[in-house]
Amino acid sequence: MINLPIEKLLFIDIETVGCSNSLTELQKENPKLYSLFCHYESWFKKRFPEDENLSLNELFLSRSALVPEFSKIVCVCMGLVDQKGNFKTTIFSNIDEKKLLEEVRKTLSKCGELGYFLCGHNVKNFDIPTLGKRMVVNQILPPKILPTYDTKPWEVKAIDTREIWQFGQYSSISTLDLMCGVMGVESSKSDEMDGSMVHEVFWNEKNLDKINVYCEKDVKVLYEFINKILNLK
């Protein structure tokens, strides 16, 4: 199912929050971006029909972290198997997004030169484009391991566990939580923390450490899932 050794996979997960604590704060800090968010209200509600009755501010709190133009990256965790066969993780986190991304770019550039492939859940549709766009927004040239506009689908250096689990069935339920549950891998999601809580934890609780722990768990779960796939007989 995977034609790469696990030693050549760079497991990655990112955590994002809305670019501001609230829509009211965004209006003060960046009136243009505030105006753009308001302009795309209908797009958000078509994309997320369950949010039809939410106020504009509630919509921002609920969905801004999912759209790179209205979000910021606060944590990136990467993991790989070292020469001794041990799985090691590294966490990059900072309230200053630019400083965080500068460090992330250095690591991604080095891993790209060494022939690594990125591995993550929904990494092609979320983590990779979010990293690329947020780097550009922060005036950082994205590393070559990230695809560009002319990268052909088969040239993308990424293994997406969501695609693995779908088996080509794009209408299937393929969340990381469900995938882990049926494969006997302990989920990273809990009552204490899941993706929907990250914005609140960052902006109101000011607890970056809690986000780091959650992000690292996601990466460890990815490794355990891939390990099981590679050991199929």
CATH code: domain of residue 213: 3.30.420.10
Is the residue at 68 inside a domain? yes
Beta-carbon count within 10 A of 67 CB: 18
Centroid of chain to Cα 179: 17
Task: For residue 2, give both structure tokens.
Answer: 């995977």
Domain that holds residue 79: 6-230
Q: Quick check: 231 pLDDT over 90? A: no
Q: Stretch 78-102: mean pLDDT, rounded?
A: 96
> Quick check: helix, strand or coil at residue 203?
helix
- Tally the domains of the chain: 1
Q: Look up the pTM and report it.
A: 0.93
Taking only the tens place, the pLDDT of each residue in 186-201 is 876 766 778 889 999 9
pLDDT value at residue 190: 65
User: pLDDT tens digit string along 201-223?
Assistant: 999 999 999 999 999 999 999 99
Encoded amino acid at 191, one letter:
D
Is residue 116 one of the residues assigned to a domain? yes
pLDDT digits (tens, 9 = 90+) for 53-78: 999 999 999 999 999 999 999 999 99
Q: Residue 130 falls within a domain, yes or no?
A: yes
Q: Mapping DSSP to helix (H, G, I), strand (E, B) and coil, where does residue 63 land?
A: helix
Does residue 136 fall inside a structural domain?
Answer: yes
Burial class of residue 157, CB neighbours in 10 A (0-12, 13-18, 19+): buried
Q: Which two tokens stand for residue 115?
A: 């022939």
Residue 1 lies in a domain: no
